[in-house]
Amino acid sequence: MKTLTRADMDTASTILTWSDGRSSQFHHIWLRDNCRCTDCGEPSTGRRSLRLSELDLNVAPEVVDIGSGDLQITWTDGHESQFTALWLSRHAYDDDARRARAFVPTLWDDDFRATPASMSFDAVNSGDSSFLEMLHHVRDCGLCFLKGASAEAGTLEAFAGKVGYIQESNFGRVQDLVVDHSKQSVGNRTVALKAHTDEPYRASPSGILLFHCVETDVTGAGSSIFMDGFEIADVLRTEDPEGFAALAQNRQMFRRHFADDVDLIAEFPVISVDEFHNVTGIRINDRVAAPASISPDQIPAYYRGMKRLLQLAEDPDRMIHLTLQPGDIAVFDNHRILHGRTDLTVNGRRWLQWIQVERGDFHSTLRITADRLQQDRSIDPLLRGAYS
């Protein structure tokens, strides 16, 4: 672990030098605002009492000392703050430090498609270690299959509650996907469904999706499709940087309207990136794309990029094709993974149950589970998602 070797002050900040030779600048107002002493309080527990409105923006230290290995500050008003070297290292906000903390997912390749992450449902459902391993698969690769669950309705709801709080929508808390042409959802039909992300017309689209096969027609034909949206976005960026930038910098409008039910409209970029241009989320679903309202000079690059991205989303060599069997569960990040299906032939019955869990709750569960196992875990937000 890095240690502090030197502290130098200028008018507005303290520059700390680390044992690896790097330095980090911490503004005095930032340090004073982030004091975690018993008087100032800890915001993570909602016990924060210090208000920025109470502070002088030009606050300055009287004394700065690192003799104990931590940063100790006595302010001109007599208040004392202490920051551990580990805490400062984790919260340094220079470009290099923030870039190093940015989560970098594992993109799919042919090896992953050949042997995608797959685990025993019983192991995942009964032990923290296997459960955390599954959460890591979903975090890192966006997808994990679970095998051997009970093929009973209700099994998914009980398990999904362990992953995070279940989100309800106009489709309900648990959606049953069966062949029923009277239902509004295309999920209840047999025609092929191109790979897509769900509900981009919501300001906050479905987060973590869980599909459970309760019953399947073994005499029929067809399969589910899964694809890494981050992989195809990366391919687009390599092939056509201008087209990629147009999809990341301009907003696409999406709409879903069922009379007397919902009229949802959201306008977000198809590709979301962070300040370091890492892809953090995607919204790919041209079935619900409304007319784009963007600068005329952006139209050629935008449509070129959008067409190529959709072509990549239809590339069978980049897909995982899997016919879910009774007891199979697919857990995946809807802000990254596209899903769909081929044409289905159903002579008997095909029944999937579908549930969504909010991504923030998923990441909370990951951290809490790691804590129970006394494993290190990041306190940083993970993959901001498809929010631009």
Do residues 155 and 274 touch, judged by C-beta distance below 8 A? no
- Does residue 295 fall inside a structural domain? yes
Q: Could you tell me if residue 105 is inside a domain?
A: no
Q: Kindly state whether residues 84 and 36 are assigned to the same domain.
A: yes
Final residue before a domain boundary, out of 99, 120, 142:
99
Q: How far is CA 118 from CA 153, 330, 332, in A?
A: 22, 9, 12
pLDDT in tens, the chain (388 residues): 789 999 999 999 999 999 999 999 999 999 999 999 999 999 888 889 999 999 999 999 999 999 999 999 999 999 999 999 999 999 999 999 999 888 889 999 999 999 999 999 999 999 999 999 999 999 999 999 999 999 999 999 999 999 999 998 877 899 998 876 555 555 555 677 899 999 999 999 999 999 999 998 756 667 899 999 999 999 999 999 999 999 999 999 999 988 888 899 999 999 999 999 999 999 999 999 999 999 999 999 999 999 999 999 999 999 999 999 999 999 999 999 999 988 877 676 788 999 999 999 999 999 999 999 999 877 666 778 888 7
Map tokens 């959201």 to a residue.
266
Asked whether residue 377 is assigned to any structural domain, the reply reads no
Q: Tell me the CA distances in angstroms from 138 to 102, 208, 216, 365, one per residue in order.
A: 17, 9, 25, 12
| 383 domain residue, yes or no | no
Question: Domain containing 235: what range?
Answer: 110-372
Q: How many domains is the chain built from?
A: 2
Q: Which of these three, 71, 99, 127, is where a domain ends?
A: 99
Same domain for 255 and 339 = yes
198 lies in some domain:
yes
The CATH code of the domain that includes 363 is 3.60.130.10
Sign of CA dihedral 231, 233, 237, 238: positive
CA pair distance 78, 35, nearest whole angstrom: 14
Tokens of 14: 């303290």
CATH code of 19's domain: 3.30.2020.30
pTM: 0.92
Residues 63 and 147 both lie in one domain: no
- Considering the domain boundaries, does residue 379 fall inside one? no
- Type of residue found at 262: V
Q: Which two tokens stand for residue 240?
A: 């056509």
SS (H, E, C) 112-123: HHHCCCEEEHHH
Q: Check: CB of residue 299 under 8 Å from CB of residue 110.
A: no
- pLDDT, tens digit, for every residue of 122-154? 999 999 999 999 999 999 999 999 999 999 999
295 in the same domain as 192: yes
Residue 164 lies in a domain: yes
In angstroms, what is the C-alpha Rg of the chain? 25
Q: What is the pLDDT of residue 180?
A: 61
Residue 343's nearest CA partner among 187, 246, 221, 203 is: 221
Residue 52, helix vs strand vs coil: helix
> Looking at the domain assignment, is residue 378 inside a domain?
no
d(CA 39, CA 37): 5
Question: 65 and 115 share a domain?
Answer: no
**CB contact burial 50-87 (16+ within 10 A = b; e otherwise):** beeeeeeeebbbeebebeeebbbbebeeebebebebee
Which of 73, 99, 125 is at the close of a domain? 99
Same domain for 159 and 58: no
Q: pLDDT per residue over 11-54, tens digit each?
A: 999 999 999 999 999 999 999 999 999 999 998 888 899 999 99
Residues 118 and 192 in one domain: yes
Shared domain check, 161 and 54: no
The reply to whether 119 and 34 lie within a common domain is no
The H or E element that residue 198 is part of is none
Strands 319-322 and 118-120: unpaired
Task: Assess whether 291 and 362 both reside in one domain.
Answer: yes
Could you give the C-alpha distances from 79 to 35, 36, 61, 301, in angstroms and in order?
Answer: 10, 12, 9, 56
Q: Are residues 126 and 89 both part of a single domain?
A: no
Whether residues 63 and 114 fall in one domain: no
